[in-house]
Amino acid sequence: MQEITLQTAKKSVIRCGAGSFEAYAPKLSGRQVFVITDTNVDRLYGDLCSVFGENTHKFVIRAGEKSKTPRTLLEILNKMLSCGMRRNCLVVALGGGVVGDVAGLAAALYMRGVHLVQIPTTLLAQVDSSVGGKTAVDMGEVKNVIGTFYQPEEVIVDPRFLATLPKREIRCGLGEIIKYGALNKEIYNKLLKNTRKLNSGKFLEEIIYDCIAHKASVVEKDETDISGARKTLNLGHTTGHALELLYGKLSHGEYVLIGTYYELQIARKLGICGGQYAENIEKLVLTVIKRAPFFGDIERAAELAVHDKKNETELISLIVPKHEGECAEISIKKDEYARYLKEVSDSLRGENG
């Protein structure tokens, strides 16, 4: 078992390793606990909630991104109030990134903030969303637009939960892991050495810790996403989010992988990334998604990318791979971005259009 304490104003202790749920969840009992989970996780792991003691309430949201809305948030807050949750209660987010984001926001808002513990059960949530305190819901067409920074007091990352995770969701988590590979040399080298083992439990357990350690170091430098350090964690996400909003058929992590592929090609066209390094990053992405899709009307994604929170001007901001362990931020006009997207997509038409 490994532990990292996030050195932010409100310290967040991250406990990582197989068996961490069994070891640390019982220590949360004896408090007034409000567990937020989703329908799938509840079916698989709902019984585990008895570990939190008798004074535990549970609220189950429908599984999926569509639940990440102000409406779900209000339903949760309403339920917390009707259950008589007090100011010193503890919200436990048991689930993937959707549960973590909405439960985190509920914990931040209820009575101006109550205790929060994240127990991530997807690979994506374990390597990324449960750590660092970003909470949010989507509104209309804009993802994560209503939210706060609210550090959990504890994050319990137990890879044993991944045993029931569908392969597709493992792929989504691998998308974020490859993102870390494009930001961190050690992770990059480990990924290249283990391309055939990316799905193995042992490899995942090791890399989960590395990714959390990288994220923790970034969050410590730039907790509230102001200086630019934290922005790097959005590599591949501008295009990924825009495609997710536009097409919505695949999941968040799959669109992040596709976004990384498209943004890598844009970086190549701009001469920012190239050679063997660009080939290796592309290879890693394609190890997970097999092929990048062609989209007939991808230019429309540019309209959605304009609303991305990372943009501080009317330009579209992209974080792209550059060299080993180094990324670059580029800001481009909407029309230019639309043109690049179309060019990349057209180049894929022959392959899978």
Pair 117, 156: CB distance under 8 Å: yes
Q: Is 233 in the site for ligand GLY (CB under 6 A)?
A: yes
Using CB atoms, what's the residue nearest to ligand GLY? 233
The correct pick among 57, 115, 143, 230 for binding ligand GLY (CB under 6 A) is 230
CA distance 168 to 162: 12
The correct pick among 134, 171, 252, 322 for binding ligand GLY (CB under 6 A) is 134
Minimum distance of ligand NAD from residue 268's CB (angstroms): 25
HSE-CB at 176 with a 13 A cutoff on CA atoms is 27
Q: Which does 305 bind (CB under 5 to 8 A by kind): ligand NAD, ligand GLY, none?
A: none
Minimum distance of ligand GLY from residue 322's CB (angstroms): 19
CA distance 145 to 160: 32
| Helical packing angle, 201-221 and 185-193, nearest 10° | 170
| Helical packing angle, 252-269 and 334-352, nearest 10° | 110
Q: Choose between 52 and 180: whose C-beta lies nearer to ligand GLY.
A: 180
Q: Choose between 100 and 321: whose C-beta lies nearer to ligand NAD.
A: 100
Pair 341, 262: CB distance under 8 Å: yes
CA 180, distance to chain mean position in Å, is 11
Q: Is 165 in the site for ligand NAD (CB under 6 A)?
A: yes
List strand residue ranges (DSSP E) for the chain, in order.
Answer: 2-6, 12-16, 33-38, 56-61, 90-95, 115-120, 134-139, 142-149, 154-157, 316-323, 326-332
Q: Is 144 in the site for ligand NAD (CB under 6 A)?
A: yes
The correct pick among 132, 147, 159, 321 for binding ligand GLY (CB under 6 A) is 132
Q: Choose between 153 and 336: whose C-beta lies nearer to ligand NAD.
A: 153
Q: Is 244 in the site for ligand NAD (CB under 6 A)?
A: no
Q: Is 252 in the site for ligand GLY (CB under 6 A)?
A: no
The correct pick among 20, 21, 68, 320 for binding ligand NAD (CB under 6 A) is 68
Q: What is the DSSP string of 281-339?
A: HHHHHHHHHSSPPP-TTTTHHHHHHTT-TT-SSSSEEEEEEEETTEEEEEEE-HHHHHH
Task: Write out the residues near ligand NAD by the rule CB under 6 A.
Answer: 38, 40-41, 44, 63-65, 68, 95-99, 101, 121-122, 124-125, 128-129, 132, 134, 143-144, 161, 164-165, 169, 172, 252-253
Task: Write out the residues near ligand GLY by the rule CB under 6 A.
Answer: 128, 132, 134, 230, 233-234
